Amino acid sequence: MNPEYLKYIRKEVFPTAFCPGCGHGILLNAFVNALGELNFDQDNLVVVSGIGCGGWIGSPHLNVDTLHTTHGRAIAYATGVKKANPDLDVVVMSGDGDLATIGGNHLIHAARRRLPITVICGNNNIYGMTGGQASATTPKGANTMTTPKGNEERPFDMVKLVKGAGADHVYRYTAYHAVKLKETIKKALISNEFYFIDVLTGCPVQYGRRNNLRDPMKMLNWMKDNSEFYKNEYKEDKIMIGEF
């Protein structure tokens, strides 16, 4: 991290509360880099999160106004913040359990309304904080605490869900693609339109240990080997990344 960008974090709470190698930390890294490279006005930025490890990416780590809300309701609070003071830059950053599962309703309506905020989903395909239960983005066949014989349900594809609900600016990257991710966060931060970024962060501890991806580098390599940039064709057997 560029030492000049450390003004965007609350140094006294570091290191993070995340497990070693947690992809949420890589998303945090990309977000701080984006703020630093834009020399972003930290007094005008509100980062809202819900509950879960994903809810901790912004709060307490970022040295901006952070709002740590109830489970699944981050977008509802963010809507209020933006409506009350439209001049503020509002970002929601939280987990897949929070944004896609418990709070999925708020997400689709924010997309339908094209609410002028940025929503970043730290999507690790699991409820990490509570011990690894399946979420709405857990892949079919994946082992979790609640699907010990493999997940029988099909997951939400966050990109398709949010696009289908009406959003114009929809992206996906993984923790491996930290630089591309940073560039996309910069685009979202300077725009006053609805942006959604699905970020596959990877939870080496609760997801990884049950799915042969316990080592953080193995998790990143899995993301690298299984992803492909979206051009014209959306391949179902790949992690499609880029702009949609």
Partner 1 sequence: MSYEVKIREDWCKGCYLCQNLCPKDVFDKADEINEKGIVIVKAARENDCIGCMQCANHCPDLAISIIEEEEKDAS
Ligand X SMILES: Cc1ncc(C[n+]2csc(CCOP(=O)(O)OP(=O)(O)O)c2C)c(N)n1
- Residues contributing to the site for ligand SF4 (CB under 6 A): 18-19, 22, 24, 53, 124, 128-129, 203-206
Instruction: Single out the residue of 9, 45, 53, 159 in contact with ligand X (rule: CB under 6 A).
Output: 53
- Cα–Cα distance between 121 and 140 in angstroms, integer? 20
- Report the partner that residue 130 touches, choosing among partner 1, ligand SF4, ligand X, none (CB closer than 5 to 8 A by kind): ligand X
Instruction: Single out the residue of 97, 155, 204, 216 in contact with ligand X (rule: CB under 6 A).
Output: 97
- Report the partner that residue 97 touches, choosing among ligand SF4, ligand X, partner 1, none (CB closer than 5 to 8 A by kind): ligand X
Cβ proximity to partner 1, 6 vs 145, nearer residue: 6
Instruction: In angstroms, give the least distance from the CB of 160 to partner 1.
Output: 28
Q: Which residue matches tokens 């980062």?
A: 47
* Structure tokens, 126: 């699991």
Q: What are phi and psi of 93, to 5 degrees?
A: -135, 120
- Report the partner that residue 38 touches, choosing among ligand X, partner 1, ligand SF4, none (CB closer than 5 to 8 A by kind): none
- Cα–Cα distance between 213 and 204 in angstroms, integer? 6
- Report the partner that residue 98 touches, choosing among partner 1, ligand SF4, ligand X, none (CB closer than 5 to 8 A by kind): ligand X
Determine if 63 is a binding residue for ligand X (CB under 6 A). Answer: no
Instruction: Single out the residue of 10, 19, 60, 71 in contact with ligand X (rule: CB under 6 A).
Output: 71
- Cα–Cα distance between 222 and 206 in angstroms, integer? 16
DSSP-based three-state secondary structure for 219: helix
Q: How does strand 65-68 pair with strand 169-174?
A: unpaired
Q: Which residue matches tokens 């080592």?
A: 215
- Report the partner that residue 1 touches, choosing among partner 1, ligand X, ligand SF4, none (CB closer than 5 to 8 A by kind): partner 1
Q: What are phi and psi of 67, to 5 degrees?
A: -125, 110
Cβ proximity to ligand SF4, 21 vs 104, nearer residue: 21
What are residue 172's DSSP bridge partners?
Answer: 198, 242
